[in-house]
Amino acid sequence: MAEVEESSKRMFAGLSDISISEDIPVEGDISVPVRSQNADDDFSTLDEPVKDTILRDLRAVGQKFVHVLYPKKSSALLKDWDLWGPLLLCVTLALMLQGGSADSGDDGRPQFAEVFVIIWFGSVIITLNSKLLGGTISFFQSLCVLGYCILPLTVAMIVCRIVLLGSISSISFVVRLIVVTASFCWSTFASTAFLADSQPANRKALVVYPVFLFYFVIGWMILTFSPSP
Amino acid sequence: MANTDFHLQFQEFEDEQGFTENNQGATTVTIDDPIKSRKQRKATGTAFEEEDDDDKTELLSGQRKSAPFWTFEYYQTLFDVDSHQVKNRIVGSILPWPGKNFIEVYLRSNPDLYGPFWICATLVFAIAVSGNISSFLVHQGQPKFRYVPDFSKVTMAATAIYSYAWLVPLALWGFLTWRNRKITSLVSYSFLQIVCVYGYSLSIYIPAVILWIIPNEGLRWCSIVVALCLSGSVLVLTFWPAIRDDKPRITTAIISTIVILHVLLAVGCKACFFSTYEMDPSKYHNEPSTATNTSSTN
């Protein structure tokens, strides 16, 4: 008996040397089975009034807006992603870039479909780019972050429209330039605050640059907007 | 004494190979992390970095692109570059060096698609934005001109640049492969390497296009010539080893085709998007007047 124990101890002696070096990042998601309670809640949401359901979703969207306006390194945007906010922002921006004129004489202005396609197609391409470079963020989480971070640019669009209600002069152009530049910097900074952690360290610049280009193009469209007389 | 010295001597082991080869008894768990090993190589000194990458890529070049092309992993191998590698490749495409071949020095069987794609995208938007700014500056003095952003320039520029960056390498690769059957030259490039070279060679045009905002014809032609010389010479130096064993007529034909297409792209972009003399002012003058005419006759 003792000999068997001795031999087994010798056999397993080498296993005590197993070491995993500490600079390998160990990451993943552990889903706590709180979900089962939510499953019970899902059944009961059929009975609640519609107003509650809508308000709950709106509250989630509004909470994410607040997270974008005050970007800290939190994962609130990433955990429960939703695409309602980006859709709302994208439609608002595309409608406001129309200028309210129905004539097709000024057809240099971007059409609604062009703005929509640029925003969504651009977001998809940036997400694919970050995943190809080895990012750990999921597809829809990235779309969610990029869409929500358009919020400062939409606010800048509203401000520009208000400024343009006055006269079109160089003062208004300087004001609009400052507002759009500030909101562009804000958008880029907010999205990198959320996205930067999921990228490998030596490729962060490669992932941030397309985001910069994307918001630059949107900011350009906002800045060059001129309303019809 | 000598025996104990041998046993007491400290043996340096290489990263993973040393452990598995020399210590058969020990159990070591190694997790293969290419980013970690690259970081370790960087820590040992950047002077050796290029050689280490060279060794590693030559060892792995047989295994690198083994994933079938319909899987996501295959495309991930095409984006396997770091920030400093992209920066080096861009610098290498701007400064031609007579001895250095871009593909051999910078690509080394690791062509990437990140550079070509995003350089082309940046160039498209730079042309659109600069074209709009320059037409705005040209028309600034005219009273009846109201600035309207011309969004169709983006789609035109995108079509032109992306087709140049993908169709010309395709044609060139096809032609070189066809010639290689007749004349086996030592150097043959894959399609992705040619796409990579063409993509990175367009990077000099981005500052040139931004310079074109200034509505001065002399400055524009000057910057075109400089950009053409730099990127054209990079292209010629890259493809020269592949075709120099061929007949002289074919060689000159290929070189002149490469240069002419490059010139056409630059001059075409300038002519389409940045014309200092505008034919359009009459259009803007006539439209409001015809509108008032029709409304008054109605």
Per-residue pLDDT tens over the stretch B106-144: 767 778 888 899 999 999 888 888 888 887 777 766 655
Q: CA separation (Å) from B84 to A70, A104, B205, B239? A: 32, 47, 21, 25
Nearest CA in chain A to B119: A210
Residue type, position B177, single letter = T
The pLDDT-based confidence of B279 (bands split at 50, 70, 90) is very low
Tell me the count of A-B CB pairs closer than 8 A: 86
CA atoms within 13 A on the CB side of A207: 28
Contacts of B37 in chain A (CB under 8 A): none
Measure in Å the smallest separation between the Cα of B245 and chain A Cα atoms: 38
Distance of CA B91 to the CA centre of its chain: 11
**Length of chain A counted residue by residue:** 229
CB-CB under 8 Å, A15 with B149: no
Distance from CA of B150 to the nearest CA of A (A): 4
Nearest beta carbon to residue B129 from set A106, A204, A220 = A220
| Model pLDDT for residues B79-98, shown as the tens digit of each residue | 888 888 888 888 888 888 77
CB contact under 8 A, B125 and A213: yes
Backbone angles phi, psi at B42, to 5 degrees: -65, -35
How far apart are the C-alpha atoms of B73 and A138, rounded to whole Å? 16
Which among B86, B150, B287 has the least Cβ separation from residue A108? B150
Angstroms from A202 CA to nearest CA on chain B:
6
Q: Which of A17, A131, A132 sits opposite B27 (nearest CB)?
A: A17
**pLDDT for the residue numbered B295:** 44
**Using the beta-carbon criterion (under 8 Å), do B33 and A24 form an inter-chain contact?**
yes
Q: Spell out which chain A residues touch chain B, with contact meaning CB-CB distance below 8 angstroms.
A: 14-15, 17-20, 23-24, 105-111, 114, 129, 131-134, 200-206, 209-210, 213, 216-217, 220-221, 224-226, 229
A110 to B149: CB separation less than 8 angstroms, yes or no: yes
> What is the rounded distance in angstroms from the CA atom of residue B257 to the CA atom of residue B175?
12
- Residues of chain A neighbouring B121 (CB-CB closer than 8 A): 210, 213
Nearest to B114 among A108, A111, A206 (CB): A206
B19 against A32, higher pLDDT: A32
Half-sphere exposure in the Cβ direction for B107 (13 Å, CA):
26
Tens-level pLDDT at each residue, chain A (229 residues): 566 666 666 676 666 666 666 777 777 777 776 555 555 555 566 777 888 888 888 888 888 888 888 777 666 667 778 888 889 999 998 888 886 555 555 555 667 888 888 899 999 999 988 888 887 888 888 888 899 889 999 999 999 888 888 776 778 888 889 999 999 999 998 888 878 777 877 888 888 899 999 999 899 888 887 776 5
List the single residue in B with minimal CA-CA distance to A219. Answer: B129
Cβ distance A213 to B150 less than 8 Å, yes or no, reads no
Residue A91 is encoded by which pair of tokens?
């439609």
> Closest partner residue to A226 among B26, B146, B150, by Cβ?
B146
Residue of B nearest to A202 (CA): B82
Contact B86 A206 (CB under 8 A): yes
Measure CB to CB from residue B148 to each of A23, A106, A133 and give the nearest one. Answer: A106
State the pLDDT at residue B143.
Answer: 55
Collect all residues of chain A within an 8 Å Cβ-Cβ radius of residue B148. Answer: 106, 108-109, 226
- In angstroms, the CA B31 to CA B38 distance is 14
pLDDT digits (tens, 9 = 90+) for B214-258: 878 888 888 888 988 888 888 888 888 777 777 888 888 888 888
Residues of A in contact with B152 (CB under 8 A): 107-108
Domain ranges of chain B: 79-89+102-274
Tokens of B117: 């794609």
Residue A160: CB atoms within 10 A of its CB come to 22
Q: Give me the residue from A18, A132, A202 closest to B83, CB to CB.
A: A202
DSSP-assigned letters across all residues of A136-196: -S-HHHHHHHHHHTTHHHHHHHHHHHHHHTS--SHHHHHHHHHHHHHHHHHHHHHHHHHHG
List chain A residues with CB under 8 Å of B38. 202
Q: Which two tokens stand for residue A151?
A: 């919020």
Give me the pLDDT at residue B27, please: 58
Nearest CB to B149; choose among A19, A131, A224 = A224
Structure ipTM: 0.71
CB contact under 8 A, B149 and A108: yes
Residue type for position A2: A
Contact A114 B151 (CB under 8 A): yes
Joined tokens for residue A54: 């809508």
Cβ-based interface (< 8 Å): residues of B facing A: 25-29, 31, 33, 35-36, 38-39, 72, 75-76, 78-79, 81-84, 86, 114, 118, 121-122, 125, 129, 132, 146-152, 287
Judge contact between B226 and B117, C-beta under 8 A.
no
3-state secondary structure of A134: coil
